Structure 1
């Protein structure tokens, strides 16, 4: 190898460090991560971030674990010293809330990183990759069938939506043997969204979270049950999971019935779904929704069932139901 070749090869292999995180920033981030490297502290942070009141009392946080009051206070002090929390004493108790400057960071940790960290994605990847290529012909036939059935929409547009629906689900869907029925359901929803006029008809709500595997699925099911046709609810995810969370699926079975719950699946967020909605409710997914004029937006700070105990999941369900009842009343009065 010549000297020129050696130099070229060295340059190609040399790591680029100019875009690495700076030393000062690394020290700050590392300190925050070190403070969070304790399960009880993470649970406390989650409890405060998802408290409907926007803050939590020390007396509430003490119930998370069988530890002494000084231990609870120590953990909260550590979180406060990182700048994640603010506190205020009122009478006997101290109340804690997420520091506004750290709200986005906390949301990213609890709503994106934490669910991804506990997900069992590697076991799902290989079977899906093997099963999906054989479905292309069936997707084509489905597109042709829906194009012949739907009136008022261009044939090529309908076929494109079917293919896009399949591609969106294929990136995450776990049950590959059901991909065609799932694609049909999702495509029909999207076609209905395209045809809907928000000025007429029954009010429609779209619930959006990151994975569409827990909170948003549960909220939509509760609206459809409690509204009795006066309001229609849909759900979607900015980064859909492979499947609905088991705890949530059991709750869906109690709300919608076993058959309906068994066929629930995470769906990708589309602009058409947002455009068709009268109200878009975000649930821990940040600023992922396109802003459509005339659509009302709300953000619900609700705990994530993926990270909760069975009792915690029940509490999250009750919290969502209270909010849902208020929303239905506002839309139907």
Structure 2
């Protein structure tokens, strides 16, 4: 081997050059090892979704049929690896996620919550799979006849893009074409919106669009009774609404709840909105001049029990009432 070949062999390749550093890898590995216990994951999720921003050890002790010292042991493990911090107040100890770890913890829990929402692989509709292209083409032609203003090419492109985006999350299910039609109509409507004459429009964005953003949009629809247009979307949409949330949506929407489904975030929805509310999805929304942005720190019902999901719904409802009053006055 020549000297040049030896130097090339010793020089790290692109993968090694961009790999996570040793110290950071050791820290991440320690955290992941600490989370390799179901009760610790539940404890961490309970702290993450607590609307107070922290949880008392007395509350966490109710998560499982174990003694309080056992819960305290698990909390100590999470604290030792740098995920949680604690503060004693009187006879109780309160735990919260260390601020610079919150984004990582939220991303981790939300990602796995999305997988849990997806559940089993959706059944494939063979007939739809066989002639999907023809059906999408027929749908695009129908919408072109109803909505001639955007132009045939724009309508066809929107329908196909919408179908592709939904297929990534919803799979080849029998509902894909119906969802594509609703999603494409929404996008075309958003593009044609005239801010000067249209009612106020608000967009709720979370990670999976399977929980809190769906609840918020449904509550706006109920409270505003058509005076405000509510949209929802996800930065990483799930295949379906979370079961806890589906039950709550049925209480809010009745039969109309069945028409709600996770949708991907698009520029169309952001540009059409007067207000964009983010809910745990980070800085994923493009910044559009004239659009008002807010971030609501609310828990994720996909990570909560049924009672916890109801508490999150109530928290969202209070915020939605204030938002509706503000937009209508």
TM-score (norm 2): 0.86
Residue 56 of structure 2 is matched in structure 1 by 57
Residue 258 of structure 2 is matched in structure 1 by 262
Worse overlay, 16-25 or 40-49: 16-25
Are the equivalent residues in 2 in contact too, given 1:173–1:241 (CA < 8 A)?
A: yes
Structure 2 counterpart SS, 1:233: strand
Are the equivalent residues in 1 in contact too, given 2:46–2:304 (CA < 8 A)?
A: no
Are the equivalent residues in 1 in contact too, given 2:216–2:320 (CA < 8 A)?
A: yes
Structure 2 counterpart SS, 1:206: strand
Are 1:277 and 2:276 counterparts? no
Are the equivalent residues in 1 in contact too, given 2:83–2:98 (CA < 8 A)?
A: yes
1:24-173 mapped onto 2 (5 Å cutoff): 24-116=23-115, 119-121=118-120, 123-124=121-122, 127=124, 131-173=128-170
Q: How far apart, CA to CA, are the structure 2 residues paired with 1:88 and 1:150?
A: 60
- 2:180 maps to which of 183, 195, 201: 183
**Structure 2 runs not aligned, ≥5 long:** 1-8
TM-score (norm 1): 0.85
Residue 7 of structure 1 is matched in structure 2 by none
Are 1:246 and 2:250 counterparts? no
Q: How far apart, CA to CA, are the structure 2 residues paired with 1:163 and 1:177?
A: 17
Q: How far apart, CA to CA, are the structure 1 residues paired with 2:49 and 2:305?
A: 15
Worse overlay, 59-68 or 45-54: 59-68
Structure 2 counterpart SS, 1:64: coil
Compute the displacement of 1:275 (Å).
Answer: 0.9
Cα root mean square deviation, aligned: 2.5
- 1:141–1:81: structure 2 CA closer, same or farther, 3 Å change rule? same
Are the equivalent residues in 1 in contact too, given 2:220–2:324 (CA < 8 A)?
A: yes
Compute the displacement of 1:237 (Å).
Answer: 1.4
**Structure 1 runs not aligned, ≥5 long:** 1-10
Q: How far apart, CA to CA, are the structure 2 residues paired with 1:130 and 1:120?
A: 23
- 1:195 maps to which of 176, 188, 192: 192
Are the equivalent residues in 2 in contact too, given 1:49–1:301 (CA < 8 A)?
A: no
Alignment coverage as a number of residue pairs: 317
- 1:61–1:136: structure 2 CA closer, same or farther, 3 Å change rule? same
Are the equivalent residues in 1 in contact too, given 2:299–2:312 (CA < 8 A)?
A: yes
- 1:44–1:329: structure 2 CA closer, same or farther, 3 Å change rule? farther
Residue 306 of structure 1 is matched in structure 2 by 302
Residue 211 of structure 1 is matched in structure 2 by 208
Structure 1 counterpart SS, 2:232: strand
Residue 316 of structure 1 is matched in structure 2 by 312
Compute the displacement of 1:129 (Å).
Answer: 8.1
- 1:181–1:116: structure 2 CA closer, same or farther, 3 Å change rule? closer
